[in-house]
Amino acid sequence: NAGVTQTPKFRVLKTGQSMTLLCAQDMNHEYMYWYRQDPGMGLRLIHYSVGEGTTAKGEVPDGYNVSRLKKQNFLLGLESAAPSQTSVYFCASTYTGELFFGEGSRLTVL
Amino acid sequence: TQLLEQSPQFLSIQEGENLTVYCNSSSVFSSLQWYRQEPGEGPVLLVTVVTGGEVKKLKRLTFQFGDARKDSSLHITAAQPGDTGLYLCAGGDSGGSNYKLTFGKGTLLTVNP
């Protein structure tokens, strides 16, 4: 039972490069989320989705885009990476409001 | 914007001691969740409280939701090294949606053997 799987787990980018983080869940959850976690800042919501084909902005959406083409997948894209986007990114999903998190993706932007 | 303040930010204690972690806000939340996060992993849900004044116990952990649903506390009795981790509280949207959570910044607990 995989739960929530994030790929890749680690990535190093140069400023201006683009990349996509993939989140996949096998629990048939409607809701999916992308958070970033920085030291002393806690978890901050980037974007979320309440169902297939829908997305919405969270607390810190600038510089990120998302897509939810399939119910089980939620993609987070960085079109032009900046050093300020160095962080650990967590994907989460839920059906009842209680979040299940992936193990995180550590992104470093040089 | 709803904000959750957690205190203390850091806590280092000896095995066997008791401790309390606080989660406070000026806003009302529809529910309050507590998560524990270990290094290199994602947060894992410990408990959800939804009723003002509610108390839930999970072995040596006791969770309380304030009467006004603006604050919560986590009390650990006889802490063990396995309790070490980052404890996060998260509040459900007061508009009624439990699906958009606001997280506190966390309390980093270290229990020394």
Render pLDDT for B12-35 as a digit per residue (tens, 0 to 9).
999 999 999 999 999 888 889 999
Yes or no, beta carbons of A99 and B104 under 8 Å apart: no
Structure tokens at B60: 């040596």
- How much is the pLDDT for B97? 54
**Distance (Å) of CA B70 to CA A85, A101, B2, B15, B89:** 32, 25, 10, 31, 12
> Using an 8 Å Cβ cutoff, are A18 and A77 in contact?
yes
Q: What is the pLDDT of residues A21-70, one digit of tens each?
A: 999 999 999 999 999 999 888 899 999 999 999 999 999 999 999 999 99
Strand partners, A90: A35
- How much is the pLDDT for B70? 92
Q: Give every residue of chain B whose pLDDT is below 70, as ranges.
A: 1-2, 94-98
Residues with Cβ within 8 Å of residue B36, at least 6 apart in sequence: B43, B44, B46, B85, B86, B87, B88
Distance CA B18, CA B50 (A): 25
Q: Which residues of B touch A (CB under 8 A)?
A: 1, 9, 31, 33, 35, 40-45, 48, 88, 90, 92, 98-101, 103-106
- How much is the pLDDT for B100? 80
